[in-house]
Amino acid sequence: MAEIESKGGKKGTPRVDLTPMVDLNLLLITFFMFTTTLSKPTAMEINMPFKKENMDSQSKVKEDAAITILLGADRKLYYYEGLENIEVKQTTFDNDGGIRDVLIDKKKRVRALQANGTLNAGDELTVLIKPDITCTTADVVDLIDEMTINDIKIYSITDITKEDQDFIADYERGSASRPR
């Protein structure tokens, strides 16, 4: 605390001892360091495929269980099912009638094919995501979020091919289907 020193009747000058203040500051700093939570980095989990030397027929995707989604400009999504006689359709990220409804419908049809024996129990819905150079990163992230929301475990992000870009151009011109 403050002490007043006086020598021989003169008025003393107050002297303040700051040692307890330093201790208090160290205690406060320590308290705040232990009680605050450090921000944890948020990252998207990415599961990388394993490398298998001799891929057999079990690792091939069955046509009835596959859907390909093409990401275009202005948040437009184009999709087609199978590999032959492709009919390209367009959808959006809207809640009503958007890509979520397409994925739910496809998942139900794959389960029905598994139930009647057309597909094996191991043949799961497989989604191929092909972003065009005109789409945004937010579109890709939103589509991956849709995979998580719909509990689709098998999906792959691959490069878009010239043929897929032609599908988008054909759809924009009005001829949406063509045999492969």
What is the per-residue pLDDT across 24-67, written as a single tens digit (0 to 9) for each? 999 999 988 888 877 777 776 666 655 666 555 445 667 888 89
Whether 22 is covered by a domain: the verdict is no
Rounded to an integer, the average pLDDT of 144-168 is: 90
Whether 165 is covered by a domain: the verdict is yes
| CATH code, 109 | 3.30.420
How many domains, the chain? 1
pTM for this structure?
0.66
Query: Would you list the DSSP string of 81-124?
Result: ESSSSEE-EEE-S-SSSSHHHHHHHHHHHHHHHHHTTSS-TT--
- Which domain range does residue 84 map to? 62-178
**Does the pLDDT of residue 8 top 70, yes or no?**
no
- Strand pairing class (66-71; 126-131): parallel
Whether 24 is covered by a domain: the verdict is no
**Does the pLDDT of residue 179 top 50, yes or no?**
no
